[in-house]
């Protein structure tokens, strides 16, 4: 699975970081960034939760 964060859409709520800190972190500016090229299988469910719970709908996964 690949996951991306739309930098223009992210408002820095950090919900994704709370749900899956193994994949998401906050930049120095306070916006979410993806730390992996491919999401490990054991974190796919948490990434899907992050996608579903992003208030700005700035995260996509495929």
pLDDT tens digits along 3-47: 999 999 999 999 999 999 999 999 999 999 999 999 999 999 999
CATH at residue 36: 3.30.70.20
The pLDDT score that the predictor gives to residue 31 is 97
The pLDDT score that the predictor gives to residue 37 is 97
As separate numbers, helices (DSSP H) first and strands (DSSP E) second, the chain gives 2, 4
Q: Which domain holds residue 8?
A: 3-61
The number of distinct structural domains making up the chain is 1
pTM (two decimals): 0.94
The pLDDT score that the predictor gives to residue 61 is 97
Q: How far apart are CA 60 and CA 10, in angstroms?
A: 12
Which residues are within 8 A (CB) of 36 and not within 5 positions of it... i.e. 6 or more apart?
Answer: 3, 22, 23
The pLDDT score that the predictor gives to residue 8 is 95
């Amino acid at each position: 699975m690949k996951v991306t964060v739309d930098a223009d859409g992210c408002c820095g709520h950090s919900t994704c970081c709370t749900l899956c800190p193994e994949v998401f972190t906050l930049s120095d500016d306070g916006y979410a960034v993806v730390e992996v090229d491919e999401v490990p299988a054991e974190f796919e469910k948490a990434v899907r939760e992050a996608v579903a719970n992003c208030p700005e709908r700035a995260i996509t996964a495929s």
